[in-house]
Amino acid sequence: MYSLAVRSTALGAISCRHQQAAGANRSTNDDNARFASIVMPHIDAAYSLARWLTGNRTDAEDVVQDALVRAFRAIHGFAGRSARAWVLCIVRNSAYSWLRKNRPAAVVAVENLEAFEAAHARPGEPGGETPEAALIAKTDAEQVRAAIAALPTPFRETLVLRDIEGLDYREIAETTEVPIGTVMSRLARARGRLIATIGGNVMP
């Protein structure tokens, strides 16, 4: 869970930066209220996604603080779609910006896989529990966590958003900015790789 101390520090920095940029000509009361109601309920999910993408707590906190600043700056333009998807999309973009700066090789690998997926995406089954999901649910949590961490980033983020954060396919598509068919394909491939890793049957 994203610590209360980090939340307070981040929000203080956001408010200070915004007031300095806006000067005396603009009140921040409306933006503060919108930010509190739209963004803050999803901060734990934001941190969870950032940690899965960066791989450790400290880097995830940096990503989330950057994402919160971005969200605050853009809050007046939020148009009422899924708040959770909007927030996590900002977190994802912040994470990739951080990775480009600090781990460029990882981003190249992601972009290569993105291109492959765009050419080979196949829709998955949108409803019901799959056999692989049932097996994963029965597997030791640490084993599953390690297997998820080893997935290629596009597969990992899709699996985390669906099976850990509980987003639906449309929300994942909005968050990751790919078609729903690609979301389904990635989720099926991610679950199949998990099965292979944890010793189950590899899905075709």
Class of domain 106-198: mainly alpha
Buried b (16+ CB within 10 A) or exposed e, 119-131: eebeebeeeeebe
Residues 165-185 have a mean pLDDT of: 93
For residues 190 and 183, give the distance between their C-alpha atoms in angstroms, rounded to a whole number. Answer: 10
For residues 23 and 29, give the distance between their C-alpha atoms in angstroms, rounded to a whole number. Answer: 13
pLDDT-based confidence at 198, cuts 50/70/90? confident
Residue 201: predicted pLDDT:
38
pTM (2 d.p.): 0.72
Identify which of 47, 68, 67, 69 has the alpha carbon closest to the alpha carbon of residue 58: 47
pLDDT-based confidence at 103, cuts 50/70/90? confident
| Domains in the chain: boundaries | 4-102, 106-198
Burial of 20 (0-12, 13-18, 19+ CB in 10 A): exposed
pLDDT-based confidence at 80, cuts 50/70/90? confident
Which of 18-22, 85-89, 148-152, 163-167 is the least confident region? 18-22
Q: Say which DSSP state 139 is in.
A: S
Instruction: Specify the CATH number for 4-102; select among 1.10.3470, 1.10.1200, 1.20.58, 1.10.1740.
Output: 1.10.1740
Q: Say which DSSP state 162 is in.
A: I
Q: Assign 3-state DSSP to the chain and report helix, strand, coil percentages, each to 5.
A: 80, 0, 20
